[in-house]
Amino acid sequence: LTSNVSPSIKGRVMFEVKPEKTEALDAYFEFNPKLGEARPLMFKLGQFKKPFSYQEFVMTSSDLNLIERTFTHAFLESKLFASSRDQGLMVKADLWDSGVPVMLYAGVFNGNGKNVKFDANSGKQVVGRVEATPITGVSIGANGTFNHRGYATDSTNTQDYVVWGADLVLAK
């Protein structure tokens, strides 16, 4: 369910319904203020996909060539907490209207994954992505994340993850 509250404000709620459980995938608000004649900035708050990896962030499931995502998806999501959905705040800067074919994304997230009701540690995750289209049909992306999982309530151990990635997309 997606709703445009106004030209500058949009909300979305999306659930995954299974026989054993129902869980929220997306639940967020976007604020896209008009600056002059363009809307170059977008602020997103709630639970949504982190801006990491072309396959995870940009490509929808219906656009996949295979029925499942690659093995790296599960590794990035469950072991390194780099991709997938999380609660947080993200800023997107679209430089296309300024004549620069670049999109910038930066976000701060809980770092614990989707549908975690309480933040059980003091750490946060910072995620960033840059996408450039130097020529039509060629897109180059780079992303990185630092996840400081902090001190858990039942432990004094911390876990830090630094993950970098890049992608090259050739389109028709």
Total residue count of the chain as it appears in this document: 172
The answer, yes or no, to whether residue 133 has pLDDT greater than 90, is: yes
The answer, yes or no, to whether residue 79 has pLDDT greater than 70, is: no
- The pLDDT of 26-48, averaged and rounded, is 93
The whole-number pLDDT of residue 69 equals 59
b vs e for 3-22, b when ≥16 Cβ sit within 10 Å of the residue's Cβ? eeeeeeebebeeeeeeeeee
What's the mean per-residue pLDDT of the chain?
A: 84
Q: Tokens in use for 103?
A: 């999109």
- Taking the alpha carbons of 81, 87, 152, 162 in that order, is the dihedral positive or negative? positive
- Whole-number percent of the chain with pLDDT over 70: 78
The whole-number pLDDT of residue 64 equals 61
